[in-house]
Structure 1
Amino acid sequence: MKNKSTLFLVQAALIAAVYVVLTLVFAPFSYGEIQVRISEALTILPYFTPAAIPGLFVGCILANLLGGAIPLDIAFGSIATLIGAVFTYKLRNSSKWLAPVPPIVANAVLVPFVLRYGYGTNLPIPLMMLTVGAGEVVSCGIFGMVLLTALSKYKNTLFGRQASVK
């Protein structure tokens, strides 16, 4: 049992660290009303391992803190990623093509309200839902699916036998 706990913790920490690094390295694209957060490609990882759920959540919190986000963004932006991760995990036994849908929807719905009421962005919320959603489609739907396809070949080595891809 200790070995599984250690593996879970290491996977979560590694995912969090990679999320932070990708967000900060690509900072010009990672923040704002038009964003393609490359690190959001990692939101497909709960499809392989439940350790990705806390890893993505903590990674998003840290990336937002280090990126200078306001408290409302740190909280609700990270909650959007958490919601996306939880529902991606819940969809793990369905088609792999559904894996990016929860983070796309969660971020497209929540982040525009953070932009409006936290940052005072004076764009219509439906427009920001489209722009944030489009960025999520690129990062989760395209880059995430490329990552899912690449990792599928090594899923048992990287994530253990619990990972299955359909």
Structure 2
Amino acid sequence: MEKNRISTKFLVVTALIAAVYVVMTLAIAPLSFGFIQMRISEVLVLLAFIDRRYVPGLILGCFIANLFSPFGMMDVFFGTACTVAALWGITHSKTLFGASLWPVFCNAFIGVELYLLGECPLIFGMVTVAIGEFLAVSCVGYALFRQIMKNPGLMARLKFA
């Protein structure tokens, strides 16, 4: 049997993570988009710190959620690219807190998108998006995942076999 075959479990988990990300984003949609935003769904990106095989589901979830953005296709591509960059950093981080900072820095560049669309001043957009990411990922996400990582049984379930 091929070692590189994609398993049914991987496909199901990828679809589930993508769906949860989309639902969490759209459930608070006014707060998920714009120059003052806080995507609670971004907490999920820390799953990639536990196992990088969560990355495809997180990227797909971000892509689908951004299809509903009031900023159109620019947000689909630019916002998803920022998430891809953050996920790369998360999967290469040595500490959970270090991993939690990648979305803050990478998604701050969404302020450039907001500026180009004429929505807000560049620095203001970058700072407000970064603050929202910091609150969601580096505060809430970090605290949550710190507790998760202390639970060996839960960690075993979260890692792909």
Q: Paired residue for 1:156?
A: 156
Matching residue's letter, 1:95? T
Q: TM-score, normalised by structure 1?
A: 0.86
| Correspondence for 1:24 among 26, 35, 40 | 26
Deviation at 1:103?
A: 1.1
Matching residue's letter, 1:59? G
Q: Paired residue for 1:142?
A: 139
CA distance in 2, matches of 1:19, 1:120: 27
Superposition CA RMSD, Å: 1.8
Matching residue's letter, 1:97? F
Percent of pairs with identical residues:
35
- Determine if the alignment matches structure 1 residue 66 to structure 2 residue 68: yes
- Determine if the alignment matches structure 1 residue 107 to structure 2 residue 107: yes
Deviation at 1:51?
A: 2.1
| Correspondence for 2:16 among 14, 20, 41 | 14
CA distance in 2, matches of 1:67, 1:129: 18
Q: Determine helix, strand or coil for the equivalent of 1:103.
A: helix
Deviation at 1:160?
A: 3.6
- Alignment length, in residue pairs? 156
Q: Paired residue for 2:97?
A: 97
Where in structure 2 are there 5+ consecutive unaligned residues?
Answer: none
Matching residue's letter, 2:72? I
CA distance in 1, matches of 2:8, 2:73: 31
Q: Paired residue for 1:57?
A: 59
Matching residue's letter, 2:143? V
Q: 1:108-146 deviations in whole A, cap 9, x for unaligned?
A: 1x20111111x31132x1222111100000111112113
Q: Determine helix, strand or coil for the equivalent of 1:121.
A: coil
Q: Determine helix, strand or coil for the equivalent of 1:100.
A: helix
Deviation at 1:68?
A: 4.1
Deviation at 1:4?
A: 6.6
1:16–1:58: 8 Å Cα contact kept in structure 2?
Answer: yes
Q: 1:78-104 deviations in whole A, cap 9, x for unaligned?
A: 11011101110111xx12211111111
CA distance in 2, matches of 1:25, 1:140: 18
Q: 1:9-36 deviations in whole A, cap 9, x for unaligned?
A: 2222211111100000011210100101
CA distance in 2, matches of 1:69, 1:62: 13
Q: Paired residue for 1:164?
A: none
Q: TM-score, normalised by structure 2?
A: 0.88
Structure 1 residues 160 and 54, CA, compared in 2 at 3 Å: closer, same or farther?
Answer: closer
Matching residue's letter, 1:100? S
